[in-house]
Amino acid sequence: MSWKEAEEYFSTHDLIILPIGSNEQHGPQNPLGTDFLIAEAIAEELAKRTGFASLRCIPYGVSFHHMHFPGTITVDEFAFMNYIYEVLKSLSKWKIKKVLIINGHGGNLNSLQILARKAREELNLLVFIFQWWSLKSLENYFNKDELGHAAAVETSLIAYLYPEWVNKQGAIDETPREREKELTWFTYTKEFTESGVFGVSKTFSRERGKEVFEEVLSHLVKLVEEIEKEKI
């Protein structure tokens, strides 16, 4: 958009879509940019289907736990929050009241939840956070072992979107070490899996990825309808 086109958009819309991802390991078979590539693809398709604009993706996130794997890039939680807060602050100046964040990386969630609270209190802005893998309906397509980080569901989705960037021969299956479920503490991925894959990835396919993409988008379109009804 030019600034004139943006001015027209802001005069008739109070909602905008913001994809956020990470640059981190996703097993030997997937590109480091898997999280931001998926988030941006979902956001762009959602924009086409709903008529709401999408910003460009913020590609770097909070990925300290993956730093044993080469190519991973991480951002301090407070730097991450402050950066996105400034983006939200700019949007609020243009009368945006609702921001739908398509979060492609679970490590960002705690920071985004704090940010959502700050945005409401200080900017009078509602921030909604969506994570595609949280859809319960994905269990209709994949079993539990296929739903982990860099496993079949994520590999299928990136293979559908960017087939040329997935190394089919690199897909492996690895059962991660169990952790105490009663405790929460900071851990590194390398303490649970050598490959970076949590579960079964060899069963991935482009066809299954298309099913995931359509399931996510159809659900998101309905969510946007609900978000439109929300008031400050």
Per-residue pLDDT in tens (0 to 9) along the chain, 232 residues: 999 999 999 999 999 999 999 999 999 999 999 999 999 999 999 999 999 999 999 999 999 999 999 999 999 999 999 999 999 999 999 999 999 999 999 999 999 999 999 999 999 999 999 999 999 999 999 999 999 999 999 999 999 999 999 999 999 999 999 888 889 899 999 999 999 999 999 999 999 999 999 999 999 999 999 999 998 7
Domain tally, the chain:
1
Which residue segment(s) compose the domain that 83 sits in? 3-229
The CB-based long-range contact list for 106-113 (8 Å cut-off, 24+ gap) reads: 106/131, 106/133, 107/22, 107/61, 107/62, 107/63, 107/64, 107/65, 108/20, 108/22, 108/61, 108/62, 108/80, 110/62, 110/77, 111/62, 111/77, 111/80, 111/81, 112/20, 112/84
Residue partners of 2: CB distance under 8 A and separation at least 6: none
What is this structure's pTM? Answer: 0.96
Q: Which residues contact 4 (CB under 8 A, 6 or more apart)?
A: none
Q: Where residue 89 sits, what CATH number does that domain have? A: 3.40.50.10310
